Copies of this chain bind each other. A is one copy, B any other.
Amino acid sequence: MFEAKVKSDVLKEVVDVISTLVDEAKFNAGKDALVVKAVDPAHVAMVDLSLDRSAFDGYKADDVELGLDMDKMKEVLKLSRAGELLHLVHEEDKNRLVVQVGNITRRMSLVDTAGMSDPKVPNLNLPAKVRVRTDELRQGIRASESVSDHIALIATPDGFEIVSEGDTDSVSLKLPKDMLDELACKEKVRSLFPLDYFSNMVKAISTAPTVTMNMGNDYPVKMEFEIAGGKGQVRYLLAPRIESE
């Protein structure tokens, strides 16, 4: 069984983070937390989200798997004001989720989870670690968009850099050590990423003021940030694009 009450802005954070990568996802409602793991259809990016039961205004679950359509969840969220409570009940016999917002009741058929895999989050050895202000990442992305559809993320012992190179123009965002919340980097590392994925992931960060980025050389980037005021955690993984010389 699964029954929960949750503020619309908390649920919105979850849906925004997941819907960036997939249209449908398996929500695992465990006793103590809601967990969602998903890989995007192109297998370029992965998300691992967990939301503690304390992030809810009411939570009862005994290890249920719910296949949810992200667009339908967004539709319901649009009916609520920030801070308004949503009441979610899983009707197992009818294979649906019933969502109540104010005087509205939405009955939503669940998606079959049989075909959805449980992605294993790989154990990566990422030598560099940087904690950056989300605002700065956004600014770097905005600057890159007109120049190229790829960006390089670079960490050095002195700072963090986003570089985008086009045919005639280039753009870079350089954050020296003193503008970073954290920097652990012994040797320069650099990896290239598809801008659209990176951009969408960063756009999905709605409240976290900083993001921790774990990086290597031509290696995936792991981005970690908080949701629900610290009562939830998100890990995004994004595969690099190997530069052809």
Contacts and interface: CB of A to CB of B under 8 A. Distances in A.
Contacts of A146: 72, 75
Interface stretch (A51-59, A104-112, A148-156, A215-223): A104-112
B103 A179 contact: yes
A71 to B, nearest CB: 8
A245 interface: no
Given A72-B146, A75-B146, A146-B72, A169 B139 contact: no
B136 A103 contact: yes
Contacts of A22: none
Contacts of A136: 103
A195 interface: no
A169 B103 contact: no
A78 B142 contact: yes
B107 A171 contact: yes
A104 B171 CA distance: 7
Interface in A99-158: 102-109, 136, 139-140, 142-143, 146-147
Given A146-B72, A146-B75, A171 B105 contact: yes
A100 to B, nearest CB: 10
A172 interface: yes
A44 interface: no
A179 B102 CA distance: 12
Nearest to A146: B75
Given A78-B142, A79-B143, A168 B103 contact: no
A8 B140 CA distance: 18
A103 B171 contact: no
B139 A103 contact: yes
A207 interface: no
A174 B107 contact: no
23 contacts: A79-B139, A79-B142, A79-B143, A103-B136, A103-B174, A103-B175, A104-B139, A104-B140, A104-B171, A104-B172, A105-B171, A105-B172, A105-B173, A105-B174, A106-B143, A106-B147, A106-B169, A106-B170, A106-B171, A107-B169, A107-B170, A108-B168, A108-B169
Given A79-B142, A102-B139, 7 more contacts: A72-B169, A104-B140, A105-B174, A106-B143, A106-B170, A106-B171, A107-B170
